[in-house]
Structures are given as C-alpha cells and as structure tokens.
Structure 1
Amino acid sequence: MTDSSAGEAVRKRGRPTETERAQRRDEILDAAQQLFLERGYGDVSLDQIASAASVTKRTIYAYVGDKTAVFAAVVSRLNQLILIPAEHVDLEALAIRLVLTLHSDVAISLHRMVIAEALQFPDLARSFHAAGPQKYIDTLGDLIGNSAAAEQLFAVLLGEPHRRRLLGLDGPPTPAEAEAHAKAALSSLRLQG
C-alpha cells in the first residue's frame, strides 16, 4: 500500500447504506468538478472521473448517469448552498445567497467552462441552464409570484459584477458586498414596479 492510498477508507462489500451512497456520490461529484475545472468538459471522460473518484464507470452510471448528468449534478450541488424550502426563506436572504454563490470562484469557473464549450456540447449548456439559472429563476418566481419579474431580478443579481467576475477583473464579493448588491437589486426593481 502506498502512502497516497494509506489514508483512503477501505470499502466494504455488500449493499452500501444511504450514508455511504451519499458519500460515494459526493466523491464522484468532487472528482468530476475538479477535473471539469482543470481540463474543461470536452477533455474529461467518465473513465477519468471514475479513476479520480476510485470507483468504476458502472458506479458513476448507477449513482449519477452519463457525463452530462454528472455535470448537471455538479451544478445542482451549488443549489444546496442557495435553495432551501421556500417556507424557510425570504426574498432578501435568497438574493444574498444567490449573489454570494453565483459570484463564487467555483460557480464562475463552471460558468466560463460552459460558455467555452456550449457550441460543441449543446446538451451541456441546456443541462447547466436547467440545473442552475432556471431553477433559481423558478424559485424567485415562486417567492414573488411573477416569473417575468423573477427573470429580471435574476439578471440584476448577476449584472455587471458577474460579467466582471467572468472576465477575471474582480474577485468574489465579501458577504457585506453581496448583501449590498442584493439589496440594491431588490430596491431597483421595486422602484421600477
């Protein structure tokens, strides 16, 4: 056994528990996210993800699906940082979490990758939009009761600061900056309404 594998837990035989299944799925998604960010979508194979996650390709299919599904699952994990049941969140808190998360280094890197590869992999772009932006717009729409206004709000929450992040001109916002940005976005839309 080498030093690099000495710390790895030995997987037991038999049917994994729900906790073990969730942990293995997270390991797959962690490996996939790292590879996607390092190499881009097109230059990553399921075999590489399987190797990096120390699982078989069959396990990836069983736990997540094909490569597009793996990428969608990576994007969906960002939702866990943002989306909580609507009965437990208010619009301002959601707006702040959207700004913090979507302007984060990981979200920006994933967004850049999708933009770079969207024409070659249109399913990737569709998957990214469905798993990310569309979910956020739908959630905002549920909270404010107006899908057109939700789309506007989402656009303002990203806005020029997001474009500057995509271009590498600015770093991620601090919590105070994210809060100020979110409040300004909400205020500007209230003024228009």
Structure 2
Amino acid sequence: MSEKQRRTATEYTHQDLERVKMFSDAVFAIALTLLVLELKIPDDMHLNDSSAMWKGLHEMMPQFKAFLLSAVLVGGNWISLMNLHRIMVKVDFFFLADLVLYLVIISLIPFCCELIGKYPENPVSFIIFGGLCELLVINAYFFIRHCRLKHLFHPEADLQEVQFLEKSLIVVSILLAVMIWIAFYSTNLSFFLFLVYNLIPFFVTRKLK
C-alpha cells in the first residue's frame, strides 16, 4: 500500500470515529431531553395557590427522584464513553454493532424513569432499572475487551488501566445483582444504592489515557 493510500485509510478511520462520537452525543442528548419531558405538572394543580402548588410539587417527588436517578446514569455513561473515545484511534464492525446496542440500552432509560416515577413503591420498577444497568455493564465489558484485543486503542494507551477496568466491571456486575435482589425488600434502600452506583461511571474511566 502506498503512503497516499495509507494516509487516506487513516483519514477515513478518523472520519468514522468522529461520526461515531457525534451520533453517540446525539443519543445521549435526546435521552436527557426525554427525561425532562417526564416531569409533567398535574392537570389539577392550582398554580395560583401557593400551598396547593407546594402540595402538588411534593406529590411529584417520586418523579423528581426518578429523574435524578436516571439523569445521573445518563451523564455518567456519557462521561465514561467520552473518556474511552479519547484513547481510540479506529473502529471496526463489531465496535459499531456493539455501540448501537449500547445506545439502544441508553435510549430505554427514560422508560425506566417513567416506571420509577409512577410506581416508586413497586420493586419491579427498580428490578427493571437494575436489569438495564446490568446490560450496560455487560455491554461495556465486551466492548472494552474487544477494543483492547483488536488494538483499537491508541498505541500509547495505558492497557493495564484498561484491563483493570475490565476486571472492575465484573465486580460491578456482581454488585448490581445484589442490588437488584435488595429491591424485593426495600425500594427506598434500592433507590439510594442505585443513586450511589450511578456515580461510579463519573470516576471509573478518568484514569484512561
């Protein structure tokens, strides 16, 4: 292959990666927008009466909590994906297919938010939310492992840190299974644990370089 052909192939790869980043950002932005749309003011709320408004807002507390839980999950996953993209130099078919699956799972977060907002005392709401988190972790494990084995990361990327991240995801998957089980006994505790868990993606990939 000539130097010109190699340069063209490299530019094409970088172009693909940029398109992947833009597509991913768009899905995350839409997911956050849909979460906000779930915060609906009740039709029977008396907006001109202060006490009635406070009462109505208090009744909306489950929706606010569900929004917080889901928004943190979306934000944390976006940061993790951005940190991964930062050390990537090329893509392949499996990468694209796995990313599409990952974004499909992300797009289901508003549905889980609505479930928790409407049925905050039903453990099934948190079980479904936990199941979605589990799918994200499993997807991330195979995604990162594939990128490492197929040398999709930058040659100077810290692969030891990448492997540590892979092992950490296995532990996280086990912890999620325990948290899902806890939902059967206490939805309030389950909410707290999932909220703390959703903060993990904000920090877990920050050392990737």
TM-score normalized by the length of structure 1:
0.26
Task: Say which structure, 1 or 2, has more relative contact order (CA 8 Å, 6+ apart).
Answer: 2
TM-score normalized by the length of structure 2:
0.25
